[in-house]
Each structure stands twice: as structure tokens, then as C-alpha cells.
């Protein structure tokens, strides 16, 4: 009987010691690689100045924008289950294509060209503050809500043009830069962040953010269009909404060092906006029909916790 009591006492003391030796995570710092593809599409309606044109009048699509980016990320937990987290990333767009289509009334296409995107840049960041509302398993599983700010910028250069309908008078050489585009989204984020223990060494991390409001600015530089004035010669400004979602499976490969593999999906779209030509005095501001940016891909991360 005494032996059983002793064994039971030792078991409880060992469990208490183990819990004391495994305090809740206070923070993390790491690096991440993001391999992704994306696209940006925009169109406008020029019927207010010429009723013989279609709606949409011009449709520009930057697609298959393959990119790689590196980022720093971190999180710090505070008393009262509050936390501060953020990411900062930069990369390059390696390749893609650009399609430019124009329409007359009845959506009869009168111009159609395709160019090659040979280079571009990708930059993004986010900073969130939140509070864990549910903390389980001695802090190894957490679920909390946050609010924050993010900025996402993409810029690309397109070269050459294949003239499918003969409207521009023939193909343009592939060594000629015909257009550059830069789109900037500045957004409010509201969402949920979770870190769920799947075992002694594995976790599932989720970052699910809604974008209820975003300010956008899209700049087109038509390098062969002197009639449009200095570049950037077409500017779209407006506001929009969207989502930024991420999931990552993490495994502890060494004490407090985790390797992660995940998936990320970002989508932002305009809800309203106007197209302007600043270099042409008296040019009418035209209503935006559509503008969205999407980027999706896989991530690999390495982090250190404390």
C-alpha cells in the first residue's frame, strides 16, 4: 500500500515538474519563403465620353505572375493574453503575361495584344494586435482575435506585343518595354489567429483575416503612348475589400525550433474607383468596372520560439 502511494505521489510530482518546465510560449521569430503565382485584372467604362464603345471598354489582365519572396515574421505575447505579431516580405516576379483587349458597343473586340512580363517586384507587410480568448493545454493551443493593418504592392514590366487583330499595325519587338503597372493595396485587417497543438511536437497555425476596407492605387505607364503624357499616365484610385488566409503545419525539429510548411491565399477587389489621365488636361474621369489582385502559393518557414 505504501509503495502504491509513493508511486502515485511520484507520478503527480513528475507531472507537475514537467508542466513547470514547459511554460507557455512567450514569443517567436522566424524567416519564411513564399513561392506563389498571381494576377491583377482591371477594366473601365468609357461610354460616358463615347457611347459607341463597349462596357467594359478596355480590359487589362496581368496573369501567371510567378514570384518568390522572403520574409521576416514574429510574435510577442504579453500579460492578459494580449499579443503583437507582424510580417515583412520582399521578392521578385519572375515571369508572366499581359493581355490588353478593347471593345466597341456590343462587346465587339477591335484590339487584342499580348505581351511578356519578364520582371517585377513584390513587397508586403502586416502588423496586428490581438488577444487570445481561448488558451488550452498549458498554453500549447491558442485561439484569438486581432485587428491590424497591411500593405501589399506589386509592380511589373511587360515587353513586346503580339498584335492579334492588326489594330496597332503589327507586332512590337520583345526587347521594347511597352507598359509598366504598379498596384498598391493599403488595408484594414480583422481576423482570427490560432495555434493548435496536434501532438507533443506538431502544431497547426492559422491566420484568417477579412479585409473590410482597403484603399487602392493602380498606376499604368504606357511607354509608347506620348499622347497620354508623362508616366505614370493612367491612374486608378478607389477602395475595396477581400481576404488574406494562411495555414501552416509546424513540427519541432529541435528544442524550440520549428520547421513549417503551409499554404497562403490573398485576394483583394475594388468595390468602387475612377480612372484618371493626369497628363491630359480636361480628360474625363471614367468609372472603374473591375479591379482585383490575387496571389496564392506555398510557404516554408523556420522559427525559434521562447
Average the pLDDT over 132-143 and give the result: 81
Bridge partner list, 79: none
- The backbone torsions φ and ψ at residue 3, rounded to the nearest 5 degrees and listed phi first, read -65, -40
Three-class SS state of 5: helix
Q: Which three cell numbers stand for residue 247?
A: 495555414
Mean pLDDT, residues 75-86 = 95
User: 8 or 262, which is more confident?
Assistant: 262
Nearest C-alpha neighbor of 299 from the set 259, 265, 253, 261: 261
Q: Give the tens place of pLDDT for each residue, 196-227.
A: 999 889 999 999 999 999 999 999 999 999 99
A 10 A CB-CB count for 28 gives 20
- Positive or negative CA dihedral for 298, 27, 131, 200? positive
Q: What is the DSSP letter of 284?
A: P
Q: What is the pLDDT of residues 83-95, one digit of tens each?
A: 999 999 999 999 9
Domains and CATH numbers, the chain: 27-305 (2.40.128.90)
The answer to whether the beta carbons of residues 67 and 37 sit under 8 Å apart is yes
The mean of the pLDDT values for the chain is 91
Q: Which pLDDT score is estimated for 211?
A: 98
Query: Is the CB of residue 240 less than 8 Å from the CB of residue 185?
Result: yes
The pLDDT score that the predictor gives to residue 205 is 96
Amino acid at each position: 500500500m505504501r509503495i502504491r502511494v509513493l508511486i502515485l505521489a511520484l507520478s503527480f510530482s513528475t507531472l507537475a515538474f514537467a508542466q513547470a518546465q514547459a511554460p507557455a510560449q512567450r514569443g517567436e521569430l522566424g524567416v519564411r519563403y513564399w513561392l506563389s503565382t498571381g494576377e491583377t485584372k482591371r477594366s473601365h467604362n468609357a461610354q460616358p465620353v463615347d457611347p459607341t464603345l463597349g462596357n467594359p471598354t478596355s480590359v487589362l489582365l496581368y496573369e501567371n505572375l510567378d514570384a518568390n519572396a522572403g520574409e521576416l515574421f514574429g510574435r510577442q505575447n504579453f500579460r492578459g493574453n494580449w499579443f503583437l505579431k507582424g510580417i515583412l516580405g520582399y521578392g521578385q516576379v519572375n515571369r508572366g503575361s499581359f493581355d490588353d483587349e478593347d471593345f466597341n458597343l456590343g462587346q465587339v473586340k477591335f484590339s487584342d495584344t499580348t505581351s511578356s512580363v519578364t520582371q517585377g517586384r513584390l513587397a508586403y507587410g502586416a502588423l496586428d494586435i490581438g488577444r487570445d480568448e481561448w488558451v488550452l493545454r498549458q498554453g500549447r493551443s491558442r485561439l484569438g482575435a486581432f485587428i491590424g493593418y497591411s500593405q501589399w504592392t506589386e509592380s511589373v514590366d511587360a515587353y513586346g506585343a503580339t498584335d492579334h487583330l492588326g489594330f496597332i499595325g503589327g507586332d512590337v519587338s520583345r526587347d521594347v518595354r511597352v507598359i509598366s503597372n504598379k498596384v498598391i493595396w493599403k488595408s484594414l485587417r480583422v481576423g482570427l489567429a490560432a495555434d493548435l497543438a496536434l501532438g507533443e511536437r506538431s502544431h497547426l497555425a492559422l491566420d484568417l483575416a477579412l479585409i473590410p476596407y482597403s484603399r487602392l492605387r493602380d498606376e499604368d505607364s504606357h511607354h509608347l503612348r506620348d499622347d497620354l503624357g508623362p508616366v505614370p499616365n493612367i491612374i486608378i484610385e478607389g477602395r475595396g475589400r477581400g481576404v488574406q488566409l494562411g495555414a501552416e503545419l509546424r513540427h519541432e525539429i529541435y528544442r524550440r525550433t520549428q520547421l513549417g510548411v503551409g499554404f497562403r491565399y490573398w485576394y483583394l477587389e475594388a468595390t468602387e474607383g475612377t480612372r484618371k489621365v493626369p497628363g491630359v488636361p480636361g480628360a474625363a474621369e471614367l468609372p472603374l468596372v473591375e479591379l482585383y489582385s490575387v496571389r496564392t502559393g506555398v510557404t516554408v518557414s523556420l522559427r525559434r520560439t521562447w
